[in-house]
A and B are shown apart, each in its own frame.
Chain A
Amino acid sequence: MFNREIESMAGNKMKELQLERLKWSIRHAYDNVPFYKKKYDESGFHPDQFKSLDDMRRIPFFTKQDMRDNYPYGLFAVPLSKVVRVHSSSGTTGNATVVGYTKNDIEVFSEVVARSLASYGVTDEDILQNAYGYGLFTGGLGLHYGAEKLGALTVPISGGNTPRQIMLIKDFGSTVLCSTPSYALNIADFIEVNMPDFDISSTKLRLGVFGAEPWTEAMRSEIERRLKIDAYDIYGLSEIIGPGVSSECSEKSGLHVFEDHFYVEIIDPETGEILPEGSKGEIVYTSLTKEAFPGIRYRSRDITRLYHDSCKCGRTLVKMERVTGRSDDMLIIRGVNVFPSQIESVLMEIEGTEPHYQIIVDKKGSMDDIEVMVEVNEKLFSDEIKVLNNLSKSITDKFRSSLGISAKITLVEPQSIPRSEGKAVRVVDKRK
């Protein structure tokens, strides 16, 4: 364990630590972020009333919409001079969400990622090839700093360029690969198609750290079989810190939540009521130590279950099940968060359209594939192919520039998209 004292702390001691830190965090948000003060004053809650963990229920929730409404720096609790880094989610202007980190926050971020890596068995002897995208996305830099903190030799290759990924696995002797699970399968596909004589077991690769998109046990087996590695899940969300909110251990059964930094609750997504341990519901996060961007009762919309199972790895930290779904319509496509409403607003920008559309998300090989079907009405139609091809191209370009995803645009006949009760079925997710 990277931090034995914390990771194997007795349950009651952990609760004491959490209560003490919650008091600080709630007070910190209330005193320094006008949004929290206003919201709490209006709802009749005051940080002085927070005396035990039972009082959590009295605190209003915090949502992604609140982040958008306060774009970009409105929810920061420290002056910008204390903020050393920002990360941001995808989104059209005003739809993007921005989070900030102080030096201490980066330290915490690195610590929880280092703990995650250690829990899979990564050590300072390892050569870690980080194929998460470096940039505004939390995955790249998050894993990078955590790996360095652990002392692993870190190869900051970033995402894409599959032939080069494979070359470095060979030449640098990488032992650990970090990426989205679908990209790992993409590498396996590439080897199979283009390098039939190459045997992956001739390399030193032994372990994979995968996250940033939902994946299944079946995908784990496939990755392990095809890349000849052990594959582990890392979970996180930028609103709370990034990857490293929770991670699997050697048992590969459930993810331990780093409870000394993140307080978790399961609620009924309809009523907002807290559900008893073991119930399935929406997981809600509260940051306990974050300085720049405190998040108090953040509704993640991720559906899971919390439980304790006296894990063989020796960690006493609460476990969460692999996230199985969402309580809203957000799609995660190649690690990018996309809401159907964002897709709609892109289509609305195309001149003369209030098109009926349908988004079909599927796996093409191992990568997520997004196809947007757009019904061609009379305003869009032309007797010239080039006009229609330009239409597809301009929609594709807009998707790339404002959502950061490449989508295949298919123009279809009017009335060809199925409608339920007159309203078009907007999203078909065939990955489920």
Chain B
Amino acid sequence: MNVTQLSAFVSNKPGHLQKVLKVLADRGINIITLTIAETSDFGILRMIVNDPDKGYEALKEQSITCSTTDVLALEIDDTPGSLFKALDAFAAMDLNIEYMYAFTQKRNDKAVMIFRFEDIEKAKEALEGKGYNIVRKIDIIGEKR
């Protein structure tokens, strides 16, 4: 199963990001990695968290605009040229990466990249037979209690 990303709309003003983080903190939700895409007026906070469903509910309750999206989490070697090579697979299939960011920690001694595609299944097909390990949701959030 694909990794779920939690995204939130945040005004580009002092204190607004913190408000979102507090809601998650109060519910005991841990952020594994995050990235922010910003414009002059607002930003989109994108996070991989340990419980995206609970995070989504918590933000919604506080009237914070948010959504969940499937993203591709891919293990690559932590060596020069590895990311370059991985992108080759997508380019060959003419797949556009909407955006991407990295895990802050290594997994199994490898780097983890998060990719957002228009069609995630096509991206997975592109990687087939090339020896890549795609990180599953269960690998990140564990078995649902």
Binding site for B on A (CB under 8 A): 376-378, 380-386, 388-389, 410-416
Contact = CB atoms under 8 A, between A and B. Distances in A.
User: Which secondary structure characterizes the binding site on chain A?
Assistant: loop
Contact of B65 (A378, A385, A389): A378
A376 B65 CA distance: 7
The 5 closest A-B pairs by CB, nearest first: A383-B7, A381-B65, A414-B63, A385-B37, A415-B63
A380 B44 CA distance: 13
B33 to A, nearest CB: 15
B5 interface: yes
User: Which secondary structure characterizes the binding site on chain B?
Assistant: strand
Contacts of B11: 412-413, 416
Nearest to A415: B63
Interface string B52-63: 000000001001
B67 A411 contact: no
B10 to A, nearest CB: 7
A416 B120 CA distance: 34
Nearest to B40: A410
Contact of A414 (B39, B46, B65): B65
B98 A384 contact: yes
Given A376-B9, A384-B99, A385-B37, A412 B42 contact: yes
Contact of B44 (A385, A410, A415, A416): A385
A410 B69 CA distance: 24
30 contacts: A376-B42, A376-B65, A377-B65, A378-B60, A378-B67, A381-B9, A381-B65, A381-B66, A381-B67, A382-B44, A382-B67, A383-B5, A383-B46, A383-B116, A384-B44, A384-B98, A384-B116, A385-B37, A385-B39, A385-B44, A388-B44, A410-B41, A412-B11, A412-B42, A413-B10, A413-B16, A413-B42, A414-B64, A414-B65, A416-B11
A414 B62 CA distance: 10
A388 B11 CA distance: 13
A23 to B, nearest CB: 59
A410 B39 CA distance: 11
Q: Which bucket holds chain B's interface residue count?
A: 20 to 34
A389 B67 CA distance: 17
Interface of B: 5, 7, 9-11, 16, 37, 39, 41-42, 44, 46, 60, 63-67, 69, 98-99, 116
Nearest to A411: B42
Interface centre among B7, B10, B41 (most CB of A within 10 A): B41
A412 B60 CA distance: 16
Contacts of A416: 11
A413 B44 CA distance: 11
Nearest to A413: B11
A412 B12 CA distance: 9
Contacts of B44: 382-385, 388
A384 B116 CA distance: 9
Contacts of B39: 385, 388-389
B134 to A, nearest CB: 20
Contact of A383 (B16, B42, B63, B67): B67
Nearest to A408: B41
Contacts of B10: 413
A385 B10 CA distance: 12
A380 B98 CA distance: 18
A385 B41 CA distance: 12
Contacts of B99: 384-385
Contacts of A376: 9, 42, 65
A431 B19 CA distance: 33
A414 B7 CA distance: 15
Nearest to A386: B98
B64 A411 contact: no
B58 to A, nearest CB: 15
A382 B44 CA distance: 9
A194 to B, nearest CB: 24
B77 to A, nearest CB: 28
Contacts of A389: 39
